[in-house]
Amino acid sequence: MSPVPFPVPGISHLAELFPAFEFEHLIAQGESGTVYKARQPALDRDVAIKILPRELGSDLSLRNSFQAEAKAMASLSHPNLIRVYDSGEVDGLLFMVMEYVPEKSLFNSAHGKAIDPKQAVRIALSVCRGLAHTHGNGIIHGDIRLAKILLNPECEPKIVSFGSVTGSLKSDIYAIGVMLRELLTGITEGTPGAEVPTVSDTRLAAICDDATHEDLDARYRNASALADQLERWLATGTSHILATPPRPAFTTPKTTPKTTPKTTPKRPVAAARPHRASSPV
């Protein structure tokens, strides 16, 4: 869906409406509003300020959704969630003052790229832990995807935009499975007629399949259960591979036959058995 067209409030106008902040530049504009980077001198911190324009604020449904998002995020405190410091309305503009994350979104950093499996799993694991916290407080995200995850300078994910406070937590679990598969393969799911991307690691493939199972009862019961599986994968190190790029053929090093004492009859040397890889688990 294309962004809703509306005039973007100018920096000088916002400076008049929000004298406690020093607006620096526009970060992003989308369907749910416009986000600016600003400085809050009184507390010596950078913030992100999300503003819903009058054109959208007059829509009761969008207005209620924006206010619900602000309240939901303000009630949460977790290292993998964006903090909300304040919210309200000024001159007909609904606003939300949030924690500022200086790095790019996961979409900008990883879209179309297959990243290292351990890094992909760590990101998905952190997202799971963040969502487990929101689910424990009765809040569903409802729109987990790469664009809704920000990465701070330490590459730690931060979940943003809680656009839904109702629904099933299984929808968030499904979304994590889709996101993890996309990080592992670099392929975006959902293209009409396209097959589900194949994850080469068999255990990770099984985790993705369980998270996105058509039967809701067959999915992980909650985000913590999915996080536990991802932690187990990380703890075991290298896992079995279903399909990998061609590798150089393994060559057995040549050995020098041992000298046999003259008094001992020579016996035929049995042919060495070829090395067999362990079967997938």
Instruction: Tell me the per-residue pLDDT of 173-212, one tens digit each, with 9 for 90 and over.
Output: 999 999 999 999 999 887 666 788 899 999 999 999 999 9
Amino acid at 151: L
77, two tokens: 């405190």
pLDDT of residue 1: 42
Catalytic residue among 46, 86, 143, 228: 143
Q: Is 215 labeled as catalytic in the residue annotation? A: no
pLDDT of residue 167: 65
164, two tokens: 């839904």
Global pTM value: 0.78
- Set out the domains of the chain in order of their start, with CATH numbers: 11-99 (3.30.200.20), 106-236 (1.10.510.10)
21, two tokens: 């902040």
Instruction: Tell me the per-residue pLDDT of 40-97, one tens digit each, with 9 for 90 and over.
Output: 999 999 999 999 888 777 788 888 888 888 888 898 999 999 999 999 999 889 999 9
Residue 19 burial by Cβ neighbours in a 10 Å radius (0-12, 13-18, 19+): exposed
Q: Spell 216-240 as b/e; 16+ CB within 10 A means b.
A: eeebbebbeebbebbeebeeeeeee
Banded pLDDT at 250 (limits 50, 70, 90): very low
